[in-house]
Amino acid sequence: MDDIEAFWQRAQQHADLAQVSSYTGVNPLAVLRPPAWGFGATPEQADELLGLVLAGDKTATASALWDYESEGEEVPSEGTLGIVVDGSGTPRALVVTTRVRVVPFDEVDAAHARAEGEGDLTLEYWRRVHEDFFTRHASHDRGFVRDMPVVLEELRVLHAE
């Protein structure tokens, strides 16, 4: 059994998955292992941002919608589970998405910037570092533009190790 599968089995026992809504029948969240992913684009970013999540300071994240499209991935929705890994790929947290919005980059609000828990918690800081991130680490070929669509995701930790 790999590390992620072992983490998932422990998380299932400790996380209150019954509190995560399901539409019909058996809650698939208790059966299907969610995807594992890390924050940022480098091991250092993954560790730093995960640390903020584990400390309770980071309850939101942002991604370029164009990256989801170019990678053929679905945009998260409310109730989506994820296993967050650190920079070495070790699973550390089970999170659930509690809210998703898609807005133009230049319409991201100060409340979201604060919820991301990074830097000085201001919208100006958020815009500066995210413009840099979206410019340097995009998986799409459209470049950065101020009105590009951004997926704003709010997260809640269900289990952490």
Tens digit of pLDDT per residue, the chain (161 long)? 799 999 988 888 888 665 555 544 555 555 678 999 999 999 999 999 999 999 999 999 999 999 999 999 999 999 999 999 999 999 999 999 999 999 999 999 999 999 999 999 999 999 999 999 999 888 777 889 999 999 999 999 999 99
Whether residue 147 is contained in a domain is answered as yes
CB 83 within 8 A of CB 4: yes
Whether residue 91 is contained in a domain is answered as yes
> Residue 111: CB partners within 8 Å, gap ≥ 6?
none
Two structure tokens written together for 60: 């939101």
Angle at 71 between CA 134 and CA 9, to 5 degrees: 100
- Could you give the 3-state DSSP secondary structure of residue 12? helix
Residue 15 has a pLDDT of 82
Whether residue 84 is contained in a domain is answered as yes
Two structure tokens written together for 115: 């919820």
Whether residue 30 is contained in a domain is answered as no
Whether residue 122 is contained in a domain is answered as yes
Whether residue 21 is contained in a domain is answered as no
Residue 158 has a pLDDT of 95
Range(s) of the domain holding residue 146: 3-13+35-160
CATH number of the CATH domain containing 145: 3.10.400.10
Residue 18 has a pLDDT of 55
DSSP state of 57: -
Q: How many domains does the chain have?
A: 1
Whether residue 85 is contained in a domain is answered as yes
Number of helices and strands in the chain (H, E): 5, 5
Whether residue 42 is contained in a domain is answered as yes
